[in-house]
Amino acid sequence: MSAPKSNKGKWIWLAAKGKIVERDGNGRSIRAIGTVIDISDQKAVEIVLEHEKEIAQTTLESINEAVITTDKTGLITSMNHKAQQLLSISESKAIGNSFDSLCTLKEESSSVGTHNPIMLCIQSDLAFNLTALSLTNKIAKAYYIDCSVSPLHDSTGCLVGCVMVIRDVTMSRKITQEIEHRAQHDSLTGIYNRHAFEAALDRNTQADEFEHVLCYIDLDQFKIVNDTCGHIAGDELLRQLFAELSIKIRKSDVFARLGGDEFGVLMLNCNIKQALKIAKSIKQVVTDYAFHWEDKVFKLGASIGLSKINASTSPAVAMQQADAACFSAKEQGRDRIHAYRADDKEMASTKGQMGWVPRLQQALKENYFILYVQAITDLKNQSAEPSHFEVLIRLNENNTIIPQALFYPRLNATTYPVK
């Protein structure tokens, strides 16, 4: 094949072929026959095709998705640069191997490898997409991926192979997981937050029969640390203490921070006897813990309330009962455990006191409080002007006067001298 110039000064491509048809007595050729064919048009098409192939290959290498092609038996025939990076193998070494011999593919939520998608595509002769997958290559590097697989056919429609396009979504998936983690976990301690705790409580109370225990814990004397050393010290105390407590919490249970110094444990598949043992171990950890900050050492306690949860108790009621039991533990002297019982006299008293809270808040808002003033008179000299007056507070509910002894027994009357 050669490319001489034509009489018009343009290069032309020729294909020449010939053979010897006669030789002399010494075997030398004396006559030959041959043909010369102008293949310029064919060569022009080949050049165009080669150029297009180079453009396609360049485009394939420049895209940010891994592309792998196989033959009809599932063996790799080509892969672009991104695919080589993803599988940590060169194209030359990958060609002729099956996809599942170079990596392990599984669903994100599963520890078991899935079927080879390339073979599924070839066997079914169908295109499909797969999402939320985890790919681990031969050097144990893992990626989160989505992929699409399509069969390849020749001009007659016969299956000749498969093309697989893999999208590396590791970065976006990690960002999503981080957002989800932050939405469900307390930023200070790393354990679940109140929202996640309530969701777990609702999720685990859907069955027809179950037995759980809700544990509500309030740290005693925590405010002293904040007031004495500041919130930075208080935050560090919580970080250290919650790390200690996490060791005592069963892995099957849900441990969450519900407020500033309040946290809860949802003890799954647990009866009240077992819950009391766990609560005692939790209280012991808090009691034994000593927080050191600069030249100061602080000791804390824990008031713990327990309530049983079963099919007849709603999550909201269980939370109220556990909170009330915790409040009762504090009222009885703090640093103790109290289990909720409907017939408990202590709980009845606590419930009665707690019931006054919304009534008093409403009274303050609506200005229902009134003052009574009475003179303090000298009995020996009753004609003298009063030197003092006693001011008493009363609550007016629906024109019914309620003395302060009923809504605030520890409130003392205050006397003021006459000016």
Distance CA 308, CA 208 (A): 16
| pLDDT > 70? residue 62 | no
Average pLDDT, the chain: 84
What does the pLDDT read at residue 167? 92
Give the residue-averaged pLDDT of 215-236: 91
Segment 286-315, tens digit of pLDDT:
999 999 998 899 999 999 999 999 888 888
Q: What is the 3-state secondary structure (H, E, C) of 176-231?
A: HHHHHHHHHECCCCCCECHHHHHHHHHHCCCCCCCCEEEEEEEEECHHHHHHHHCH
Give the residue-averaged pLDDT of 397-402: 76
Distance CA 227, CA 219 (A): 15
Is residue 106 within 8 Å of 134, Cβ to Cβ? Answer: yes
3-state SS, residue 276: helix
How does residue 208 score in pLDDT terms, banded at 50, 70 and 90? confident
Q: Report the interhelical angle of 231-248 vs 222-229 (nearest 10°).
A: 150
Question: How many other CB atoms are there within 10 angstroms of residue 107's CB atom?
Answer: 14
- What Rg do the C-alpha atoms of the chain give, in angstroms? 42
| pLDDT > 50? residue 414 | no
Segment 231-249, tens digit of pLDDT:
999 999 999 999 999 888 9
Q: Report the interhelical angle of 345-366 vs 315-331 (nearest 10°).
A: 100
How does residue 2 score in pLDDT terms, banded at 50, 70 and 90? low
Give the residue-averaged pLDDT of 144-164: 92
Is residue 212 within 8 Å of 253, Cβ to Cβ? Answer: no
> pTM for this structure?
0.61
Distance CA 362, CA 6 (A): 107
3-state SS, residue 290: strand
| pLDDT > 90? residue 285 | yes
Query: What letter represents residue 212's amino acid?
Result: H
Segment 73-118, tens digit of pLDDT:
999 999 888 899 999 999 999 999 999 999 999 988 776 666 789 9
- Residues belonging to the chain: 419
How does residue 415 score in pLDDT terms, banded at 50, 70 and 90? very low
Q: Per the structure block, which two tokens stand in for 360?
A: 């008093």
The CATH topology of domain 63-173 is Beta-Lactamase (3.30.450)
How does residue 58 score in pLDDT terms, banded at 50, 70 and 90? low
Return the domain boundaries, the chain: 1-62, 63-173, 188-360, 368-417
Give the residue-averaged pLDDT of 170-176: 91
How does residue 61 score in pLDDT terms, banded at 50, 70 and 90? low
CATH for the 188-360 domain, from 3.30.70.270, 1.10.10.10, 3.30.70.1060, 3.40.50.300: 3.30.70.270
What does the pLDDT read at residue 418? 45
Segment 364-395, tens digit of pLDDT:
888 888 888 888 877 777 777 777 888 888 88
User: What region does 140 belong to: left with phi over 0, alpha with psi -120 to 50, or beta?
Assistant: left
The β-bridge relationship of strands 76-79 and 103-107 is unpaired
Q: Which of 284, 281, 313 is nearest to 213 (CA)?
A: 313
What does the pLDDT read at residue 35? 86
Backbone angles phi, psi at 299, to 5 degrees: -120, 140
